[in-house]
Structure 1
Amino acid sequence: MTEGSPIDKTAVRDAATVIVLRDRAHAPRILMGQRGAKAAFMPNKFVFPGGAVDADDAAIALAGALPEPCATRLDEGTRPGLGPALAAAAIRELWEETGLVLGRPGSWQGPVPTDWAAFAATGHVPDPTNLQFVFRALTPPGRPRRFDARFFLVDADDLASDPDDFSAASDELSHLQWVDLSEARAFDMPFITEVVLAEIQARVDDRAAPESVPFFRNDDEQSLFLRLRGHVMPGDA
Structure 2
Amino acid sequence: MTTSATPSPPPAAPPGRPAHPRHAASLILWRQAGGAAREGTVEVLMGMRAAGHRFMPNRLVFPGGRVDLADRTAPAATELRPDTRAALERRAPPRLARALAIAAARELEEETGLRLGGPLPTLDRLHYLCRAVTPARSPIRFNARFLVAPAEAAEGTLSGSGELEQLAWLPLEGVLALPVAPITARVLGEFRDWLAMPEAARATRPLIWFQGRENRRLEVAA
TM surpasses 0.5 = yes
Contact 1:41 / 1:144 at 8 angstroms: preserved in 2?
Answer: no
Contact 1:28 / 1:204 at 8 angstroms: preserved in 2?
Answer: no
String of CA shifts for 1:151-181, please: whole Å, max 9, x gaps.
Answer: 00110011133xxx213x1111101111111
Hey, what does 1:44 align to over in structure 2? 58
Larger mean Cα displacement after TM superposition, 66-75 or 30-39 = 66-75
TM-score norm. by structure 2 comes to 0.85
Q: Give the aligned residue type for 2:21.
A: V
Q: Distance in 1 between matches of 2:134 and 2:115?
A: 28
Hey, what does 1:93 align to over in structure 2? 107
Hey, what does 1:22 align to over in structure 2? 31
Structure 1 unmatched runs, 5+: 105-123
Pairing partner for 1:54 from 65, 68, 75: 68
Q: Distance in 2 between matches of 1:173 and 1:79?
A: 30
TM-score norm. by structure 1 comes to 0.80
Output aligned runs, 1:38-187, within 5 Å: 38-104=52-118, 124-161=119-156, 165-167=157-159, 169-187=160-178
Q: Give the aligned residue type for 1:225.
A: R
Point out 4+ residue stretches in structure 1 off by more than 6 angstroms: none
Percent of aligned positions that are identical? 37
Hey, what does 2:16 align to over in structure 1? none
Contact 2:9 / 2:140 at 8 angstroms: preserved in 1?
Answer: no
Structure 2 unmatched runs, 5+: 13-18
Hey, what does 1:203 align to over in structure 2? 194
Aligned residues: 204
Q: Distance in 2 between matches of 1:97 and 1:199?
A: 23
The Cα shift of 1:4 comes to: 4.9
Q: Give the aligned residue type for 1:60.
A: A
String of CA shifts for 1:114-163, please: whole Å, max 9, x gaps.
Answer: xxxxxxxxxx11111010010100000122310000000110011133xx
**Distance of aligned partners of 1:7 and 1:129 in 2 relative to their CA distance in 1, 3 Å threshold:** same
- What is the alpha-carbon root mean square deviation over aligned residues? 2.0
Q: Distance in 2 between matches of 1:217 and 1:56?
A: 28
Contact 2:23 / 2:144 at 8 angstroms: preserved in 1?
Answer: yes
Q: Distance in 2 between matches of 1:101 and 1:28?
A: 20
Q: Give the aligned residue type for 2:142.
A: F
The Cα shift of 1:6 comes to: 7.5
Hey, what does 1:216 align to over in structure 2? 210
The Cα shift of 1:214 comes to: 1.0
Contact 2:20 / 2:141 at 8 angstroms: preserved in 1?
Answer: yes
